Amino acid sequence: MYGPELAEVYEIFYRSRGKDWPAEAAYVMEVVRSRCPEADSLLDVACGTGAHLETFGALCKHTEGLEIAEPMRELAHQRLPEVTVHPGDMRAFDLGHAFDTVVCMFCAIGYLATVSDMRDAVRSMTRHLRPGGVLVIEPWWFPEDHVEGYVAGDLGRENGRTVARISHSTRQGRATRMEVRFLVGDRHGIREFTEIDVLTLFTKNEYLAAFTDAGCTVEFLPGDPTGRGLFVGVRQ
C-alpha cells in the first residue's frame, strides 16, 4: 500500500471528491485550542503527503510529521522542505520530545490489524504529549457502519493527467477489505494498477478504552471532518 504509483496520484482523486485538507486541519485546530488554548506545537502521525501538515504549519509555531511509507514521506519533504518528517511506525516510535498536540488523521489508524496494535499506537502518541496536551485521532468506520459490497468511484483531472478510481468493499473478519483499481492516463499513455486496503473496524469502546488506559481523558465528536468523527483526548 501507498507505493510510488499511488503516491503520485493520491491527492488528485481525493480533490475530485471535494476533500479539503486545509479546512479539515483548521477545524482540528479549533477543537484542539478549545481544550488547550496555548497549543502551538504539533506532531502529525501518518502525515502522508503533508497536505494537512501544511496548514497545521501555518497555524502552529512548530510542526513535525511521522510517516511509514517512503513514497508519501518524500512528497511531504518536497512540499514542506523546512519541516522534519520522520520515518516511523505509529505503534512504536520515540522522537525524544513532546508536543502540545498529536494528530492522526484520515483513518490511518484503521490500517493497524489488531486492537493491541491500536492500543500501542495510542500509547506511543500519548507519550509524545506534554501534560494537558491534546490527542486527536480520526477513526475508520465502526463495525455497525460497514456496508457490504459498497462501491465508490472517482474521476479526477489535473495538469494533463486523468485518474479514475473504483473500489469495492467486503467484510473480512473484523476489517473492511477494499479492492481499489486505478486507471491513470497522461501524455505517456494509460496504465492500471490495483491496491488492496484492509482497515480494521475497531469499536467505539475499544478506542475509548485505549485513550483512557494511555492516560488521557477522552470524548468522541461525531461527524466532522469527513463523517467518521474524531476521538479527542487530553493527557492527564
pLDDT at 2: 84
User: What are the structural domains of the chain?
Assistant: 4-142+203-235 (3.40.50.150), 143-200 (2.20.130.10)
Over residues 84-99, the pLDDT tens digits come to 999 999 999 999 999 9
Asked if 124 and 90 count as a contact pair (C-beta separation under 8 A), the reply is yes
Contacts 24+ apart (CB under 8 A), 81-86: 83/50, 83/53, 83/57, 85/47, 85/50, 85/53
pLDDT at 149: 98
**pTM, rounded to two decimals:** 0.97
pLDDT at 227: 97
What's the CA gap between 207 and 211, in Å, rounded? Answer: 6
Task: Give SS3 for 216.
Answer: strand
pLDDT at 192: 97
Q: Which residues of the chain have pLDDT under 50?
A: none
Over residues 43-83, the pLDDT tens digits come to 999 999 999 999 999 999 999 999 999 999 999 999 999 99
What's the CA gap between 140 and 221, in Å, rounded? Answer: 14
- Please give the grid coordinates belonging to residue 12: 488528485
